[in-house]
Amino acid sequence: MHLIIYGPEGSGKGTQAKLLAEKLKVPVYTSGDLVRQAAAKDKSPLGDACRTALTEGKYVDDGNMFQLWENRLQTDEAKKGFLLDGFPRNKKQAEFLFVHVKEYGYGIDRLIYLKLSDAESIKRLSLRHRTLFAGSTVNHDDPERVAQRLKVYREKEEDMLSFFRSKYLILEIDAAGTIEKVHEDIVRALKI
């Protein structure tokens, strides 16, 4: 299966992706990991862009995200199945994804939309204390940084959901419950 986990930060995307990946025996690909790896190791302009985005509490622009994702999507491993966490984040990225997976000989089965309020997102994320990147002492999850990222996310959310609704691929899940309840709801909805 080729699945996307989508929702605001704090909605449990990473946790649910991991649980589902274990059940389906497929890898999880995350934008966050790709961005943090590039910020920590890449000395090119792409790495600079990733470090700047992390420092300013913003998302990496589409052009750089496309560079990070293109090579990953065409691998034999990707063709067998995956869960995408953190990509696509907007309609333009979704269109890019659909064009490329089709070009590589596969498609997207479902977008799992984990619905969660901003207040609950901020509450959950305040419990984490991630730094911006390896060696940084700045808290990635302080309330102001989280609020800024949520604002950017919400600006793109409806276009993303409309895009996937038009393809009849969206699966909406209430993410406010326990980890176990949300996982059960996803498994039941996917019929796996």
User: What is the pLDDT at residue 37?
Assistant: 83
**Would you say residue 192 lies in a domain?**
no
CATH (domain of 170): 3.40.50.300
User: What is the pLDDT at residue 43?
Assistant: 93
Q: Domain of residue 127: give its range.
A: 2-182
Per DSSP (E only), the strands in 51-187 are: 82-85, 110-115, 170-174
Instruction: For residue 29, count CB atoms less than 10 angstroms from its CB and return exposed for 0-12, middle for 13-18, buried for 19 or more.
Output: buried
**Would you say residue 102 lies in a domain?**
yes
User: What is the pLDDT at residue 126?
Assistant: 79
User: What is the pLDDT at residue 135?
Assistant: 76
User: pTM for the complete prediction?
Assistant: 0.82
**Would you say residue 148 lies in a domain?**
yes
In this prediction, the residues of the chain whose per-residue pLDDT falls under 50 are none
**Would you say residue 188 lies in a domain?**
no
Q: How many domains does the chain have?
A: 1
**Would you say residue 54 lies in a domain?**
yes
